[in-house]
Structure formats: structure tokens, C-alpha cells
Structure 1
């Protein structure tokens, strides 16, 4: 579990519309790999936000139910994906029956879960041989200008799970409840190429939806975004028009013991 301040966990609702507009989807190959061991098509998108992962799951033919605790994020999910069953709830209190899903997936959300409570709940709703997977969209800092962007943006905008090497370390044990009866097997991690079409302005807007940015005082947030815009304006890769932001979708996949 990530012991982040409560204001970080609850920051996204204030930016639900911007989150839906600017956050990327997930690499379909990553989602397929996450689901590959699942015994059936029933998938819970847990901590679903505005439905970024939900939409990819629907496109891949999964039978999806989305659960999201923030009312503003849930309202945006329901607006954009009206055909999806979307419920208020949390990882610590999942509003589903026992053994009712074949997979539990979480997109950029598992680090917010209190696994002491969420672990038993996830194990409860999973069918036998079900799978738990967390997915994160990462900046590909093997690309020189992306590494420079991460340095300029700073930790409020590009945190410890936002580039591949620290992501591997930060997520490796997120699935393990610190106490209680629920236990999960050995984790598997994998990275899949991804990208998002952006302009300098829309990339700055994307970074502005990160939790660390949402809780910054206004002057600090403006200063950070100003540095980002100046950097992007000075790079040939990003100075004019649209470009593809090099990304990776990282997956942590486990099964209950």
C-alpha cells in the first residue's frame, strides 16, 4: 500500500472532466496479457476513475463492471460509458457478491488501495483461478527528451511510479496484504509499448491532472507547468503541433493462493 496523504487520494474528483479529457488509455496488448490467465470474461475494474481502463476492456470484449469511490469521477464514467454497469464502492468495500468475477483489474489505482482491507475483498469477489492485475501508464524515459521532461516537471508531476525502473521497485509487492488471511502468489511484471498523441499544451494539461499537481498551491503548480511548457517549446520533438508521447503500460499480475 502507498501511504500517501489523504488529500492525494481524494484529489481527482476536482479534475474529473480534465482527467477524462487528457489521461491516456491503456495499451490493448497490456490488458490482454493481464487477462490472459483469467478463467472467464467477467472483469471488475476497481478504482475505475473516469473509465480509461474500462473503455479498453469493453473494446476487448470483456463483461465489465466498474467500481469507483469518487462521485465526480463515477459521474464522468457513467456519462462517457453509459452502457457499462458502474457502481459506487471501493477496493476496501467491493459491492459485488462472492466469486462473481474472473479478474480484478486496476488502472493507475492499486497504489491507493489499503491492501489490509482490499486484499480479502478482492480475494472474496474473485472466482477460483481468478487473476488480479494492476496497470500503470509510464513515461518512457529511455527516450532522451522524455527523461528531460521528467526532470523538469519534478516529482509532483512525475512520481515514483511514472517511469519504468522506479515503477518496478514501487509496485512489486503492492498486491500483498500486510495482515489477514488473503494471500497472493508471486507477481509477474511486464511492460508494453504505448503512446499518446499530444501537443505541448495538452501534455502540460495531462501532467496537471496528477495527484501531486492537484494538491500543489496555485503558484507552485503554475510555476511547474510554466517550466514544462518552456521545456516543450524548446525541444524540436514537441515545439510544433502534435507528437506522440512515448509511453509504456506496466502490468503487475498475480493470482490468489
Structure 2
């Protein structure tokens, strides 16, 4: 998987923050249900601009820190979720002590990691009995216009891992145990501008040549014209949130 795509998001941090959806609270709460009750120290790994960090910070008694490889994304996170400590690092190389965390969570990020190495390193920082939680917001392509939108924008590594035709879901290895999963369906009202911001925050477009980005934008506008999406009018973009959790042995 391209390292350039994996670390490209800082260039579009503002569009990422504006265009990407939040995570449903119920899904985040489910990821944390198995976390030990005597402590609630949580690290958001690959935290980006803080979409998941924001929800975690509202969990009762939570002490949240954020880790991301991109300084530009962490700078955006400090603006959107002030007061949360931030550290530069990756799932394979965490800047935290052994057994210092009760839960490690990754939103829209596990498809960028090497799962064996990441499981081992996160197993180092998560205490015994702690939780690894993974979560993705994936557009529901059972809706025809959404499927056409993906055809224009190209599918992402996340969509292929979590919801692809041959997907078996994310691989989580030792020292974490059995993987549990749940899903939630919901809609996000989106304007034409927000849909373009969402597209511009995707690694494929960020790293594509300028002429290809322009052609994708043109095709998106043609689709939105067909849908009658003008001005500040909105259309419901259906999402399926997929969450996974595993307890550390």
C-alpha cells in the first residue's frame, strides 16, 4: 500500500475536517464497552483532525491522548479538540510507555498499518484486559447515486478492507483475542461543497495529478447537476459505520 497515500492527508487537513463525517456515539461506546472499569485511559491512534478524538473526549471519566504521524493533522486536531495531549507516532511505533493505556482506538486508520506489527506494538502499550477498537464510516453503496459517486472518486483502501466483495474484515493479531463486530446505518446531510471537500480529503485525489483531479471534479459536478443539488441544498449521504473490538490477553 502506498506510503505516500498513507501520509498525504495533512495537505488537505481543512477539507478532511469539513468533509469527513463524525462517528456515531453509540458505535464508539460499543467499542469501549469491554474496557476495564477502574481506569479510562484512551489513545486515539491515527487521530487525524480529531473526528474520533472529539467523541472519545466526551466519554465519562475518559483521559484521552492523540497520536498521528502527520504534524499538520495534529495541529488541526489541537484547534478542533483543544486540551487533548498530542504526540507524533504510528501504530507500529507508539510514543507511550508499556501497559499505560486501557484502550487504543483507530478511526479510519487500520487499513494503513501493518497489522501484525501494529497489534504487537499496541499490545505493548495496552494493559492486560484492555481493548483495541477499530472503526470506519463507509458510504452505503446500495444507494445508486452513491455507487456512481464512488465510481468517479475511486474506491479507497478502507472500503476494500471493510466492505469489499472479498473482504474478511481487518486482521488483528496477538496479543489481542477474538474480534467482535457491529454495524450502524445512518445518514449525513451534505451540500455540494461538502461532498467536494470529502472527495478532496481522500488519498487518491490528494496524490493524483492535477488534470485527473480536475476531471474527477467535473464528473462529480455532472452527477450533482443531475441530482439537482444546488447552492446550500443538501442530499442525504447514507453511511454504514463498522466497528470492531478485541481484548488484550
Fold equivalence (TM over 0.5): yes
Structure 1 residue 144: Cα displacement: 2.7
Report whether the alignment pairs 1:56 with 2:55: yes
Deviations 1:190-227 (A, max 9, x none): 21123323112210221111111111101001101211
| Aligned partner (choices 24, 27, 30) of residue 30 of structure 1 | 27
Deviations 1:132-151 (A, max 9, x none): 11111100112232223223
Counterpart position of 2:130: 130
Counterpart position of 2:236: 244
Q: SS in structure 1 opposite 2:213?
A: helix
Counterpart position of 1:9: 6
In the alignment, the residues of structure 1 paired with residue 204 and residue 41 of structure 2 have an alpha-carbon distance, to the nearest angstrom, of 33
| Contact 1:46/1:66, CA 8 A, preserved across alignment | yes
Counterpart position of 2:215: 223
Residues 77 and 159 from structure 1, CA distance in 2 versus in 1: closer, same or farther, beyond 3 angstroms?
same
In the alignment, the residues of structure 2 paired with residue 165 and residue 18 of structure 1 have an alpha-carbon distance, to the nearest angstrom, of 24
TM-score normalised by L of structure 2: 0.90
Counterpart position of 2:167: 169
Residue ranges of structure 1 left out of the alignment (5+ in a row): 177-181
In the alignment, the residues of structure 2 paired with residue 57 and residue 193 of structure 1 have an alpha-carbon distance, to the nearest angstrom, of 20
| Aligned partner (choices 172, 186, 208) of residue 200 of structure 2 | 208
Deviations 1:1-23 (A, max 9, x none): xxx11111111111112212221
Counterpart position of 1:113: 113
Structure 1 ranges of 4+ moved more than 4 A: none
Q: How many residues align?
A: 244
Residue ranges of structure 2 left out of the alignment (5+ in a row): none
Structure 1 residue 52: Cα displacement: 0.5
Structure 1 residue 56: Cα displacement: 1.0
TM-score normalised by L of structure 1: 0.87
Deviations 1:49-97 (A, max 9, x none): 1100000111233321111110100111112212111112211221112
